[in-house]
Chain A
Amino acid sequence: MTVDLRANVPDGPIEKKWDTHRFDMKLVNPANKRKHRVIMVGTGLAGGSAAASLAELGYDVHCFCFQDSPRRAHSIAAQGGINAAKNYQNDGDSIWRLFYDTVKGGDFRSREANVYRLAQISVNIIDQCAAQGVPFAREYGGLLANRSFGGAQVSRTFYARGQTGQQLLLGAYQAMAKQIGLGTVTMYPRTEMLDVVVIDGQARGIVVRDLVTGAVSSHAADAVVLATGGYSNVFFLSTNAKGCNVTATWRAHKRGALFANPCFTQIHPTCIPAHGEHQSKLTLMSESLRNDGRIWVPKKAGDRRRAAEIPDAERDYYLERMYPSFGNLVPRDVASRRAKEMCDSGFGVGEGGHGVFLDFREAIGRLGQQVVAERYGNLFEMYQRITGENPFDMPMRIYPAPHYTMGGLWVDYNLMSTVPGLHVIGEANFSDHGANRLGASALMQGLADGYFILPYTIGNYLAQAKLAKVDASHSAFKQAEADVAAKVKRLLGVAGGRGVDSFHRELGRLMWDQCGMARTRAGLEGAIDQVRALRERFWKELYVGGRGEDLNQSLEKAGRVADFFEFAELMCEDALHREESCGGHFRTEYQTPEGEAKRDDSRFSYVAAWEYTGDTAAPKLHKEPLEFESVHLAQRSYK
């Protein structure tokens, strides 16, 4: 296969690139838009906003989600907020600063031009969402309120209590619902995409399984958009919803889309620690808590006293000590790694020593209980519901957990993958966050892609692509349907006795230990062998049960876990080949004397884009060099 890895970044100064490009792009005549069918897979912030915007423009949108309603996509669980360079606080923010913070926060492994565009568009997103009626937090005068997030020294995060993702998603969902009512979006809930169909080198549709009846069917279109989120569930225990999976992007990868930087995963520092063997997922506590909460561990290793019994002099507020200028608001990768180090060295608190304190005592003293409750009340309640402990009386215990994946399908500046016509938006692509995402930037990126980038760039593709007349009776669809049906049959046919969750749990533990917060050459090499061995056992010892022609949740899970097995290997390969530490990718062999990530810009300043070459064949590495014209490459410092 010949691979075209041109990023198609427009020429000119960085602040003019997007404007120039918008002018240069070809347009689709308004009367012709309805003749173009676009398939949207996923209805989170990216997919929902894109489906609504494309339908408003006049395209014929067919939209798919595995949940029972598009309103339930996992974007809904984002708590803390969304960044925008509005500078409403007059504290020195600007598009340039948001751009710079994001490139630096990503440890200089993102594509500069994409990030600049993201920062530019951030201001329009807030306008758009406010106009839709998203009930953002307000000041008494009626103006929008802001809070601070990690990796920034300005207050640029907009929020709706601790449910910002929910409110933004409902905004996009309602905009899309309006289009469903008008008949411009056709919605297929409880429908899972199981293959992309490529005809004459162009993505021309998908094959799906109806999760209620089990029926497998084909859907043809002029372009396909994947907005299917990230793959944190490769770790089994993560903050992602149970249904989040890599299946859509992985199947697209097997059809020719390159997978970029799969080892760039984000471990979120403030999650509720795990409790036991039946735990099914981890729960995040918003990073916004680090605005007023102070993180500490006892100075004496193995100190098992209750927090209240430990006097201030015997507490180590280690982030404030190590990073005096950013303190508790260092970026996520730094905060997570330091928490792990503290626990690994025996300073951890709570069950098994896998936790550090997040303490609001000082904030309650300074602001009063009522103000703290107003800011974080719902998070405190959530914590109490899960742990049975009240954070007003004793500090929270937190521990890092897999949360977001910066890696994803490779896309060019137009958000198109290496398969023409196959676009990838939101967390599912790799483009904007480099090796570490800053808090409150995922919502920003999802909505930037969906509302303001894809609706332009997909038109540019459709206006120029030579599209043969194709419908779902084409042999390529029939073949893909047969492949999907065969896979379902194969899963149901494994005559073992072990449930799919048990395999997933074992895979997740392996990935967490060897490809989680700290990685080594030996560990990764061993992990690849172990993943393979476990995969073999999966296909021998699995028991799914039930039928294919029915609502069968065990079968759904089995298909997703089968893909996670294949994907996990690629993730380890990527982590193994990247002999440097950057952002969330920490190879213990490569660190500074202070224990910070040590990049190797001379060898690894590129996007690693992997090509699928066959089930047992080694994936082929392609490199997109990263050039930094507008920011100066530097070792990150938050001291």
Chain B
Amino acid sequence: MRLVLHVWRQAGPSAEGRFVRYEVAGISPDISFLEMLDVLNESLIAKKEEPVAFDHDCREGICGSCGVVIDGRPHGPQSHTTACQLHMRHFADGQEIWIEPWRARAFPVLKDLIVDRGAFDRIIAAGGFITARTGSAPDANAILVPKRDADLAMDAAQCIGCGACVAACPNASAMLFVAAKVSHLGLLPQGQPERYDRVVKMVEVMDEAGFGACTNHGECMAACPKGISVNFIAQLNRDLLKATLAPPREGAAWSGAG
């Protein structure tokens, strides 16, 4: 395959960026999108030009490192697929492809296609955990979790933290990311004691980081490589409403269907 690429090049966080046109040839349809970028970079190195910087690591769709916007879509045209798992057989010979980084105020560009997603780590540090000091746990089977709840929690927990949801959202909102964690932990009995504190703190840090508000476009779910449902955003909103309008009494156990 022969392809024409328009790749976003930006030397640093404060430098001005622009699209640069490259041509690559001899691309096998069986290689991945990132392997295609490898081929581009090898050709740049051969010409002693600087290769395109892009984040990647596991290349099997689980670490969440990679992520570029391909023709306007985060992770490209295949649903439920990260850029590293996207294969060139989904592109046509001779196609022009536009490649750019995640665009969001909370994710500043570091270089070329690499952005700083540190805001996600700060949100988790604010409350995205269940406190269980090492050594203090009861026997694992002492906590029964109905299969349905465990399965639903797992659906939410699959989030790989790549940030495609933010890149896809017209408001650059991080609600799907935050909702996935809030729901994963809030659906489990172990997560109840910190449930309302958690949602308040995580949302607070999310807002501070400069992410936009959720206005129910649903683009996040369409872009999410793990197919995480926007229903979890509804779950987050219910918890947040309950926590802020009618805060549960100190020490009172949560009850009801949420």
Binding site for B on A (CB under 8 A): 49, 52-53, 56, 67-72, 74, 76-77, 86, 88, 124, 126-133, 135-144, 160-161, 163, 166-167, 170, 173-175, 177-178, 180-181, 187, 189, 212, 239, 241-243, 275-276, 278-281, 283-284, 381-382, 385-386, 388, 451-452, 455, 497, 499, 501-502, 543, 545-546, 550-551, 553-554
Contact = CB atoms under 8 A, between A and B. Distances in A.
Interface residues of B, number: 79
A352 B61 CA distance: 27
Contacts of B184: 133, 135
Interface in B11-34: 12, 28, 30-32, 34
Contact of A68 (B116, B126, B190): B116
A370 to B, nearest CB: 14
B56 A242 contact: yes
B249 interface: no
Contacts of A279: 31, 35
Contact of A77 (B30, B63, B81, B133): B63
Contact of A128 (B51, B53, B134): B134
A71 B46 contact: no
A468 B121 CA distance: 35
A177 B63 contact: no
Given A144-B141, A551-B111, 14 more contacts: A72-B57, A128-B137, A130-B143, A131-B140, A131-B190, A137-B150, A174-B130, A175-B129, A178-B131, A276-B31, A278-B38, A278-B39, A385-B78, A501-B42
B9 to A, nearest CB: 13
B12 to A, nearest CB: 8
B132 interface: yes
3 shortest A-B CB distances, which residue pairs?
A142-B144, A131-B137, A174-B129
B209 interface: no
Given A242-B57, A452-B134, A68 B117 contact: yes
A114 to B, nearest CB: 20
A475 B126 CA distance: 39
22 contacts: A68-B55, A70-B121, A127-B139, A127-B140, A133-B132, A138-B150, A139-B147, A166-B62, A167-B154, A175-B129, A177-B125, A177-B128, A187-B121, A241-B58, A278-B38, A278-B39, A280-B35, A382-B60, A499-B41, A499-B45, A543-B45, A551-B110
Contact of B125 (A163, A170, A180, A553): A180
Contacts of A175: 129, 132, 134
Interface string B43-83: 00110111101011111111111000000000000101100
Contact of B190 (A130, A167, A385, A499): A130
A71 B134 CA distance: 19
Contacts of A239: 60
A139 B41 CA distance: 49
Nearest to A160: B154
A144 B161 CA distance: 26
Most chain A beta-carbon contacts within 10 A, residue among B49, B85, B131, B137: B137
Contacts of A69: 64, 117-118, 120-121, 161
A133 B145 CA distance: 10
B234 interface: no
